[in-house]
């Protein structure tokens, strides 16, 4: 049986663009964002794949499309900025992969995505004549759209007169017409902000339906032209690696003595807290500089610098850097235990883990004799995978749970609970706050905690009562109501 080659006309894409733009207006303009973000995202990716089936003819593209559908479900559960940006990047990746016929690397992908973004400003203008021809195929009166609009004035005016006369003669029709909110429709037609919203949304959607951007030129990440021979030789590389290993061994020795085993004797004026809380971020910068040095000196174009001794020394040095990052992670965890958990500290831990993985990948690149572009592509995949997994996690609820159960007033090792920060977290902090209030004795903390809890629960009631703001995660927060009546 012969396959049908589906080629959507520009009229079909124009109708889809108008439909999605109208849906965006109905779902978002003047309203908050809830599960509707996921609904619109699902509608968008479905429309793209329906009107452009070639987007998903390869297995990698099918995997990306499936991942985008899963992200749209995640946005129905909890619309987060990270999920939105990852979805937008995924859609752009799908379009770029199609145009490049799957031949891609991370640097080209970033450049092509920027070209696609800039194209949203002009694609509608490029296709305006084609759209006009598509409308003319509807066989409007000769002379084009403007002439057709002129011809529509007389029947429209006469129809309005007929409606007015019938409303005067028919009280039932008059009552129905009076119930219409004419002010609402007038506000729509006369609102500059709404027209701007429509224009921006339509421009973006049209550019996705008609991705006609120019592809970037291939790039190379070789450092052949850097000219390292002027300042580093085979012997000086070995000497530098010996020196760096000694310096890093001293630092790691301090960490082993004071941080990991706790057996070291601190000098006067320095205690364990000072040692733990200092240096987490400078050590990460040190590891990044070390990784850059390895990439520069062990590039494939610098084969003359390589030797068995240099390879062995760089292996030890990279592993020392990994241990240094592990020490930074341990410092951060100890800092969190002494104080509290925040979004920024969670992000710092994830970042440190990525740095450690990146260093190990640098080592893999050397031993597998891969290129710098291979290293960039693998790091990009690791970063994307980690960010993708984060879209399905409830960091707010985890942070609130940790801080409540480590609060000093409840016998924990941390500081007194920062109720103001839990208010900033929002409804995700409600289950932890309910437990916190129920465990406290009468006092200021219990009273203030009850006030914050009441504010968050009232906000949750408002959100779930509006169908646009409702999400699955917010709805599940009503499931734990054991302590909901406390202090009410």
Specify whether 305 is located in the same domain as 406. Answer: no
Confidence of residue 486 (pLDDT cuts 50, 70, 90): very low
Same domain, 55 and 83: yes
Checking if the pLDDT of 216 tops 70, the result is yes
Query: Is the same domain home to 237 and 381?
Result: yes
Q: Categorize the per-residue pLDDT at 179 as very low, low, confident or very high, splitting at 50, 70 and 90.
A: low
Position 182 pLDDT exceeds 60: no
pLDDT of residue 79: 92
Residue 36 is assigned to a structural domain of this protein: yes
If one counts the domains in the chain, the total is 3
Q: Which domain holds residue 374?
A: 228-390
- pLDDT tens digits for range 203-215: 899 989 888 888 8
Q: Which of 150-154, 397-401, 431-435 has the lowest mean pLDDT?
A: 150-154
Q: Is 176 a domain residue?
A: no
Tell me, what's the pLDDT at 485? 37
Residue 468 lies in a domain: yes
Same domain, 384 and 401: no
| 274 and 208 within one domain | no
In the predicted structure, residue 110 carries a pLDDT above the cut 60: yes
Tens-place pLDDT, residues 390-421: 999 999 999 999 999 999 888 888 889 999 99
Distances (CA, A) of 211 to 37, 214, 410: 23, 9, 57
Check if the beta carbon of residue 305 is closer than 8 Å to that of residue 297. yes
377 and 332 in a common domain = yes
Long-range contacts of 430-434 (CB under 8 A, 24+ apart): 430/456, 430/457, 430/460, 430/477, 430/480, 431/397, 431/400, 431/401, 431/477, 431/480, 432/397, 432/400, 432/401, 432/403, 432/404, 432/405, 433/400, 433/404, 434/480, 434/482, 434/483, 434/484, 434/486
In a domain, 335, yes or no: yes
Q: Are 474 and 464 in contact (CB under 8 A)?
A: yes
Residue 171 falls inside a structural domain: no
| SS3 assignment, position 48 | helix
Are 24 and 97 part of one and the same domain?
A: yes
Does 90 map to a domain?
A: yes
Secondary structure class of 384 (helix, strand, coil): helix
Report angle CA 376, 301, 108 to the nearest 5 degrees.
30
Of 390, 413, 444, which residue sits at a domain end? Answer: 390
Q: Which of 219, 237, 264 is the last residue of a domain?
A: 219
**Residue 384 sits in the same domain as residue 409:** no
Last residue of a domain, one of 332, 355, 390: 390
Answer yes or no: do 204 and 324 share one domain.
Answer: no
Is there a contact between 331 and 276 (Cβ–Cβ < 8 Å)?
yes
pLDDT per position as a tens digit, 22-68: 999 999 988 888 999 999 999 999 999 999 888 888 888 999 999 99
Residue 418 in any domain: the answer is: yes
Tell me, yes or no, whether 178 lies in a domain: no
Q: How far is CA 388 from CA 82, 154, 267, 476, in A?
A: 9, 56, 45, 22
Q: Are 472 and 447 in a shared domain?
A: yes
pLDDT at 167: 65
- pTM for the predicted model, two decimal places: 0.80
Q: Which of 338, 319, 362, 395 is nearest to 83 (CA)?
A: 395
* Together in a domain, 433 and 321: no
Per-residue confidence (pLDDT) for residue 213, from 0 to 100: 80
pLDDT digits (tens, 9 = 90+) for 221-254: 555 545 555 567 778 888 888 998 998 898 888 8
37-41, 218-222, 300-304: which is most confident = 37-41
Q: What is the pLDDT at residue 311?
A: 87
Tally of residues, the chain: 488
Whether 146 has a pLDDT exceeding 70, the answer reads no
**What is the residue-averaged pLDDT of the chain?**
81
Contacts 24+ apart (CB under 8 A), 71-76: 71/41, 71/388, 71/391, 72/38, 72/39, 72/41, 72/42, 72/45, 73/38, 73/42, 74/38, 74/391, 74/392, 75/35, 75/37, 75/38, 75/41, 76/35, 76/37, 76/38, 76/39, 76/471, 76/472
Q: Are 207 and 236 in the same domain? A: no
Quote the CA–CA distance of 90 and 37 in Å, as a whole number.
16
């Amino acid at each position: 049986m012969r396959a049908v080659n589906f080629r959507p006309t520009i009229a079909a894409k124009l109708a889809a663009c108008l439909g999605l733009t109208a849906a965006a207006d109905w779902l978002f303009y003047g309203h908050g964002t809830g599960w509707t973000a996921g609904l619109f995202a699902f509608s968008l990716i479905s429309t793209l794949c329906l009107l452009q089936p070639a987007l998903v003819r390869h297995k990698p593209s099918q995997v990306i499309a499936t991942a985008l559908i899963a992200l749209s479900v995640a946005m129905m559960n909890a619309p987060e900025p990270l999920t939105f940006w990852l979805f937008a990047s995924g859609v752009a990746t799908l379009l770029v992969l199609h145009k490049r016929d799957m031949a891609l690397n991370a640097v080209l992908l970033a450049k092509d995505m920027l070209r696609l973004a800039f194209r949203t400003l002009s694609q509608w203008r490029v296709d305006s004549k084609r759209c006009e021809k598509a409308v003319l195929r509807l066989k409007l009166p000769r002379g084009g759209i403007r002439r057709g609009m002129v011809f529509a004035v007389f029947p429209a005016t006469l129809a309005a007169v007929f409606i007015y006369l019938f409303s005067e003669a028919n009280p039932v029709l008059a009552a129905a017409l009076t119930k219409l909110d004419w002010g609402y429709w007038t506000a729509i037609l006369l609102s500059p902000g709404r027209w701007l919203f429509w224009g921006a949304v339509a421009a973006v959607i049209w550019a996705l339906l008609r991705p006609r951007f120019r592809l970037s030129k291939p790039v190379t990440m070789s450092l052949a032209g850097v000219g390292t021979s002027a300042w580093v030789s085979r012997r000086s590389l070995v000497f530098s690696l010996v020196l760096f290993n000694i310096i890093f061994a001293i630092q790691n020795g301090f960490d082993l003595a004071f941080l990991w085993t706790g057996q070291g004797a601190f000098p006067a004026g320095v205690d364990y807290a000072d040692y733990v809380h200092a240096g987490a971020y400078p050590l990460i910068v040190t590891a990044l500089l070390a990784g850059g040095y390895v990439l520069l000196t062990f590039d494939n174009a610098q084969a003359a610098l390589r030797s068995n001794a240099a390879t062995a020394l760089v292996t030890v040095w990279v592993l020392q850097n990994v241990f240094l990052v592990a020490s930074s992670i341990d410092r951060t965890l100890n800092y969190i235990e002494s104080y509290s958990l925040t979004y920024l500290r969670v992000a710092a831990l994830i970042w440190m883990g990525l740095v450690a993985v990146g260093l190990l990948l640098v080592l893999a690149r050397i031993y597998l004799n891969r290129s710098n572009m291979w290293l960039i592509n693998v790091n990009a995949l690791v970063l994307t995978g980690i960010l993708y997994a984060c879209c399905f996690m409830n960091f707010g609820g985890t942070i609130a749970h940790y801080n409540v159960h480590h609060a000093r007033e409840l016998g924990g090792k941390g500081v007194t609970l920062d109720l103001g920060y839990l208010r900033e977290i929002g409804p995700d902090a409600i289950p932890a706050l309910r437990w916190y209030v129920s465990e406290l004795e009468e006092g200021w903390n219990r009273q203030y905690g009850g006030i914050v809890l009441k504010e968050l629960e009232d906000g949750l009631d408002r959100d779930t009562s509006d169908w646009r703001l409702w999400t699955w995660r917010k709805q599940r927060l009503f499931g734990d109501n054991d302590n909901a009546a406390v202090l009410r």
